[in-house]
Amino acid sequence: MKTKLLTLLLAVGLLSACAEMNPHPMDMNLAVQTAKTKADHEALAEHYEEAAKDMQLKVEEHKKLLSQYQSKGFRQSKILKDHCQRLINAYEKAVQENLSMATLHRQM
């Protein structure tokens, strides 16, 4: 039973880690190069805020996984916990960077 649960948790963790983080719904290079109006920069700011929301969902998802790993006595739990913590840190940084970009575009 523990083996099946571990396999399931690993599969979910790997699938979520390998999922595309945030495919850009717009050509970001073109959008940034051609942004001239307040509306253009507002659209970019909204894009970055949406990306930040997506990253925050990933943070919460991995915090839940980390909690599960911490409550279980899996032999591989240190590896799993470390993996989740690294992802949490990366996603939290991505949240902050995206919010920072949104702020900068709103100031333009």
* Averaged pLDDT, 84-99: 97
Integer angstrom CA distances of residue 66 from 5, 89, 90: 15, 12, 14
Q: What is residue 33's predicted lDDT score, i.e. its pLDDT?
A: 82
Cα separation, 48 vs 54, whole angstroms: 10
What confidence tier does 6 reach under pLDDT thresholds 50, 70, 90? Answer: very low
Domain boundaries of the chain, sorted by first residue: 2-17+37-107
